[in-house]
Amino acid sequence: MKGLNNKVNLYRFGKMVCGAFLKSMYRIEVKGRENIPQTGGILLCSNHINNFDPPLVGVAAPRDVHFMAKAELFDMPILKTLLPNINAFPVKRGMSDKQALRNGLNLLKEGKVLGLFPEGTRSKTGELGQGLAGAGFFALKSEAAVVPCAIKGQYKRGQKVTVIFGKPIDFSEMREQKASARDATNLIMLNIEKLLKESS
């Protein structure tokens, strides 16, 4: 129990520090927090435009978020100890890592929030890219609420960066029809794209 409390405290401390840093650098605006259910598993899917996206989404979300992080980071001396304590777990590139998929599903079944960037890597142009099938896999194989998220703006000092949480996507029909993970991911990306366009 002590270890769990230390982990929670470290996450909250990290969230506070990241929030203070981001707000000192950018004008942060958050919309749609009310769209995130207060309980139950949540698959939170966002576009990816900057390395600061994970801490920004973590700060903006009203609940603790668990993120996948590149497996290589867990080989670094400090990060391999720090990352697990701030709710990160390793994934090999492409999100086809079976252990990472199991870890993600377990988190969702435990009623936690799993944050994903379906594109798998940052967009170099800022435009929304194609999502990987891993996001659709989690959406179909769990009963979690699937919440789209859009990050809009330029990470330039003093500029506004907006995080928009959309309403949960209804996946009941796709789950019943046993749709493909690719089709499920496409639906998620369409909803992210819609948020980006609505905020223009």
Q: Which tokens belong to 85?
A: 């304590």
5-14, 23-32, 41-50, 160-169: the lowest-pLDDT one: 5-14
Number of residues that make up the chain: 200
Please tell me which residue, 4 or 173, carries the higher pLDDT value. Answer: 173
Strands (E), 71-130: 88-91, 113-116
Angle (CA) 155 83 186, round 5° = 60
3-state secondary structure of 130: coil
Facing residues of 164 across strands? Answer: 31, 150
Q: How far apart are alpha carbons 184 and 138 in whole angstroms?
A: 9
pLDDT tens for 123-179 read 988 899 999 999 999 999 999 999 999 999 999 999 999 999 999 999 999 999 999
Going edge to edge, which strands form the sheet with 113-116?
Answer: 27-31, 160-165, 145-153, 42-46, 113-116, 65-70, 88-91
Residue 6 has pLDDT above 70, yes or no: no
pLDDT tens for 136-151 read 999 999 999 999 999 9
| pLDDT for the residue 124 | 84
Q: What is the mean pLDDT of residues 107-126?
A: 92
pLDDT tens for 43-94 read 999 999 998 999 999 999 999 999 987 777 777 776 767 777 778 777 776 5
**10 Å Cβ neighbour count for 127?**
10
Q: How far apart are alpha carbons 32 and 165 in whole angstroms?
A: 5
**10 Å Cβ neighbour count for 128?**
20
Q: Which has the closest alpha carbon to 113: 83, 145, 89?
A: 145
Strands (E), 71-189: 88-91, 113-116, 145-153, 160-165
| pLDDT for the residue 20 | 93
For the chain, the domains span: 1-197
Q: How confident is the model at residue 5 (pLDDT cuts 50, 70, 90)?
A: low
Q: Which has the closest alpha carbon to 119: 111, 110, 127?
A: 127
Q: Kindly state the DSSP code that residue 75 receives in the 8-state scheme.
A: G
| Phi (first) and psi of residue 179, to 5 degrees | -65, 165
Residue in this structure with the two tokens 């989690």, named with its chain if needed:
138
| pLDDT for the residue 87 | 81
Give yes or no for a contact between 32 and 164, defined as CB atoms under 8 angstroms apart.
Answer: yes
| pLDDT for the residue 39 | 96
Give yes or no for a contact between 100 and 90, defined as CB atoms under 8 angstroms apart.
Answer: yes
Q: Of 3.40.1130.10, 3.40.50.1980, 3.80.30.10, 3.40.50.2300, which CATH number belongs to 1-197?
A: 3.40.1130.10
